[in-house]
Structure 1
Amino acid sequence: MALPPTTTTIQVPPLSSAPPEWNSDPAWKLPSWAEPIIVASILFGACYCTRRRNFSILNKSSNNNYTPLSLHDDDTSVVEPYSDTDSSSDYSLSTSTLKHPPRRRRWLWLTITTPNTSRFANNPHSRILHKFPFLLEMFYWILTYFLYRLTHILSQSLFSDSIWDTAQENALKILFVEQFSFLSFAFPVQEISVQKWFLAGHPLLLTVLNKAYALIHIPGTVFFMAWYYSAAPNHAVFAVVRRTMTLCNLLAFTIFMLYPCMPPRLLPKEFGFVDTVRRDSAESVFMNGKFVNHLAAMPSMHFGYSFIIGMTCLYHAGGFRWMGVGYQNYSGLGWRVALGVFGVAYPLGVLTVIVATANHYWLDAVAAAGTAAVALVGNRVFVVLVPLEDCLLWVLRVERPRHTTGEKEGGRD
């Protein structure tokens, strides 16, 4: 498929300018400190709700049924510690008498040994983690967010001063594919038409969508993961979703760096798009600052997150059992129906938001869904990092906590 060599060869009908007089007067403006407070409240609220209730951080003598992770690990990458029955070598026999024998991990096709951190189980920070195991999830989410912040720096270094021209050219290529390629039948409604429908007759609804764009992406996703940490049937199931979300992030970050793409709202004004989120003072505080990549439209992680969340809800509602893939949910019919409806409505609602606010193209959402699918298939790639985690915890002198996911209220340690 031949792509247009310059921006002047593209004709995108209709491209009349959006009403210049439109400038919403928001009924309420979220203070800059409110969104971080919301996210922090969700995270620390999750820490409190998923705490190990019958465990005391200060009372070491009773131990409070504290079972170190190394003796009861739910990570499938772990192999039982060396023991007398291990026939591998004399080394296994000599280490069997140790109080904290080395741990064996499966790494690719190898079995390697890593430090056993159970000796640090009674360190103060280990006991805090055992009491509040969700703190470990918070650490890795913060690390992922930090990696996102780096994409702007790395992308800028790759493309230097040409990054904006490259991003605009890539954006116009997307419009060309949607409207003039053999795939145009899949995109019968143009993005500009969707936004003009809201601009022309539904400005109040558009204001709601602007607020949703800011509040759904990070606070909404964090809330879901915090809820799912407690609601998942076990931590192994939660870990699949968490790893899928993380790998989806990293794949998207790579695309952001190698394929800068200008969102519709930043295209030249003759294309008719309006940056409604900024004009409505509804921009997320997390999307501000010099380290934010504003040329990261492809793929849409707004839709990628919502797609993963929606598919997770459909899975637990039994929506895929007809395919032979599913989860037997014994909850009431009303709850399963609600999960199923939400699983469909949430990603569709986010898709409407990102298009109506001119932040993404249809193809961005398609790419996001594909990225999420690849992440699901390859999510176990992160298991190879488990030995590295063992070494990090050894350096920090902390024992990795057992998770409370899937434990019933009365059955927590």
Structure 2
Amino acid sequence: MSSIREPEWNSEPAWKLPGWAEPVIVACILFGAMFMTRRRNFRILRKRSSPSNGLGSLDSDGSSEALLPLKPYSEDEDDDIVTTRKHPPKKRSCCCFTIHTPNTARFRDNIHSRILQRFPFLVEMLYWIVNYAFYRFTAVASQHIFAETGIWNVAQAHGLSVLETEHNTVLHFLLPVRERSVQQWFMHGHQGLLTVLNKAYALIHIPGTVGFICWYYYVAPSFDTFAMVRRTMTLTNFCAFLTFIFYPCMPPRLLPREYGFLDTVRHDNAESVWMSGKYINTLAAMPSMHFGYAFCIGATLIFHSGLYRRTLESRQTRKPLFWKVFYLIFGLVYPAFILVTIVATANHYWLDAMVATAYVAISFLFNRVFYVFIPLEDLLLFAIRADKPVPTTGDRFHENGGRI
């Protein structure tokens, strides 16, 4: 690649949010969703279960029963165990094996079980904390694996190989506009738009994704539908995390100056608290999870529009044409906007987005692989003496009409 002069940044630095603002925004979204999806007419401090407070009619198996059904006991098998125990063990059928797991229904009156029953969205919050813990592990693991060769040099070599792959293979015909050209277009005469993209890159990714998870938990027609989307996003995460570990990749903005990229986000003082220090794996450009999340969100919105479906789920109602078109347009525009953003700000390559799209598609097809963790979930709940809450996915929304 020939050397070019470094682009100039002439815009005044944009106003930057205080460091505490973004965590507060995310916390407000999460706890707001926790409140909106709470189980009404259920008292945490009531000691005895009864139908009047909504617990007597709930069964914790309902939260996973449709995912990994219990295998019923036969009349002549373990009959003495079944008849002499109030809470017989669960007999899970998983991966062609039969697994016995503890029945946690005995713990449904424990205070932490009742808190979870009152606010079942807390379980979703826990899942994403686990996701973040794995993400933090990627930087540590990758640095350990490439300690001898130097992870910076390896990541730079991988970044340059991505550019070479785009420019010297069949991808050259599929991607005729190079990343550098996109940034140069914004740099020369459109820096105001680039400032908008800088802010979008820094501030939309985390709050937007968290907000989507909260919104879809509230409006999804069933927990199974919501769980499928959540599992797809989670499996996409894990596929990406493995790539981060074994294929550290330097983003364009960190390549040597002769490649002509500029870190516009930092030059514009638009950096997010989630993009600095201990919160970020700097050498994790491949794949782009900004686009991976955006693509998954866009596909879900198009599905949610109902525009291309003749049949709906039991609790769904036909949306007015306005909302169908709204979700369709949003589902197409949002991923496209994020794609332009990640390339124009020199944070990702085109190939990063292509790999992220492939990961989402693969994760959608194989998201049920997480069913193998349901017996482990049974054991964890038994260890902490808690009963899994029954989800309230879509309850409040559909009680209010469910028209959007």
Q: TM-score range by the shorter chain?
A: over 0.9
Partner of 2:395 in structure 1? 407
Task: State the TM-score, normalized to the length of structure 2.
Answer: 0.92
SS in 1 for 2:188: helix
Deviation at 1:292, TM superposition (A): 2.8
SS in 1 for 2:150: helix
Partner of 1:337 in structure 2? 325
CA separation in 2, counterparts of 1:207 and 1:394? 51
Partner of 2:59 in structure 1? 69
Deviation at 1:76, TM superposition (A): 2.6
8 Å contact 1:82–1:101 — kept in the other structure?
Answer: no
1:367 aligns with 2:355: yes
Q: Map 1:247-258 to 2 at 5 A.
A: 247-258=235-246
CA deviations on 1:136-156 (whole Å, 9 max, x unpaired) are 000110110011011001000
Unaligned runs of 5+ in 2: none
User: Using a 3 Å threshold, how does the CA distance of structure 1 residues 317 and 411 change in structure 2: closer, same or farther?
Assistant: closer
Task: State the TM-score, normalized to the length of structure 1.
Answer: 0.90
Unaligned runs of 5+ in 1: 1-10
CA separation in 2, counterparts of 1:187 and 1:231? 37
Partner of 1:25 in structure 2? 12
SS in 1 for 2:4: coil
Structure 1 runs of 4+ with >6 Å offset: 324-328
Deviates more, 1:97-106 or 1:374-383: 97-106
1:184 aligns with 2:172: yes
User: Using a 3 Å threshold, how does the CA distance of structure 1 residues 106 and 88 change in structure 2: closer, same or farther?
Assistant: farther
CA separation in 1, counterparts of 2:48 and 2:290? 48
Q: Map 1:3-22 to 2 at 5 A.
A: 11=1, 15-20=3-8, 22=9
1:382 aligns with 2:370: yes
8 Å contact 1:232–1:405 — kept in the other structure?
Answer: yes
Deviation at 1:75, TM superposition (A): 3.0
Partner of 1:8 in structure 2? none
Match of 1:133 among 120, 137, 156: 120
CA separation in 1, counterparts of 2:63 and 2:19? 42
Deviates more, 1:69-78 or 1:198-207: 69-78
Letter in 2 for 1:69: D
8 Å contact 2:233–2:293 — kept in the other structure?
Answer: yes
CA separation in 2, counterparts of 1:19 and 1:410? 52
1:209 aligns with 2:216: no
1:170 aligns with 2:158: yes
SS in 2 for 1:79: coil
SS in 2 for 1:237: helix
Partner of 2:98 in structure 1? 111
CA separation in 1, counterparts of 2:346 and 2:397? 45
SS in 2 for 1:402: coil
Number of equivalences: 394
Deviation at 1:329, TM superposition (A): 5.8
CA separation in 2, counterparts of 1:325 and 1:154? 46
Q: Map 1:299-310 to 2 at 5 A.
A: 299-310=287-298
CA RMSD after TM alignment: 2.1
Partner of 1:7 in structure 2? none
SS in 1 for 2:87: coil
CA separation in 2, counterparts of 1:347 and 1:319? 19
Deviation at 1:190, TM superposition (A): 0.7
User: Using a 3 Å threshold, how does the CA distance of structure 1 residues 118 and 197 change in structure 2: closer, same or farther?
Assistant: same
Letter in 2 for 1:211: K
Letter in 2 for 1:65: G
1:42 aligns with 2:29: yes
Deviation at 1:16, TM superposition (A): 2.1
Letter in 1 for 2:263: D
CA separation in 2, counterparts of 1:180 and 1:386? 46
CA separation in 1, counterparts of 2:17 and 2:7? 26
Partner of 2:304 in structure 1? 316
8 Å contact 2:13–2:267 — kept in the other structure?
Answer: no
Match of 2:222 among 195, 217, 234: 234
Letter in 2 for 1:274: L
Partner of 1:352 in structure 2? 340
Deviation at 1:103, TM superposition (A): 1.1
Partner of 1:271 in structure 2? 259
User: Using a 3 Å threshold, how does the CA distance of structure 1 residues 49 and 175 change in structure 2: closer, same or farther?
Assistant: same
8 Å contact 2:63–2:388 — kept in the other structure?
Answer: no
1:57 aligns with 2:44: yes
SS in 1 for 2:31: helix
CA deviations on 1:239-298 (whole Å, 9 max, x unpaired) are 000000000000000011111111000000111100011111222212222463211111
CA separation in 2, counterparts of 1:120 and 1:326? 36
CA separation in 1, counterparts of 2:398 and 2:234? 31
User: Using a 3 Å threshold, how does the CA distance of structure 1 residues 320 and 263 change in structure 2: closer, same or farther?
Assistant: farther
User: Using a 3 Å threshold, how does the CA distance of structure 1 residues 392 and 182 change in structure 2: closer, same or farther?
Assistant: same
CA deviations on 1:321-366 (whole Å, 9 max, x unpaired) are 4xx9987761111111111000000000000110010000001000
CA separation in 2, counterparts of 1:304 and 1:315? 17
8 Å contact 1:303–1:351 — kept in the other structure?
Answer: yes
Deviates more, 1:403-412 or 1:180-189: 403-412
SS in 1 for 2:93: strand
Deviation at 1:171, TM superposition (A): 1.1
SS in 2 for 1:29: coil
CA separation in 2, counterparts of 1:250 and 1:72? 26
User: Using a 3 Å threshold, how does the CA distance of structure 1 residues 188 and 319 change in structure 2: closer, same or farther?
Assistant: farther
The percent identity for this pair of structures is: 53
1:151 aligns with 2:138: yes
Partner of 2:384 in structure 1? 396
CA deviations on 1:287-317 (whole Å, 9 max, x unpaired) are 2224632111111000000000000111122
Deviation at 1:77, TM superposition (A): 4.1
SS in 2 for 1:404: coil
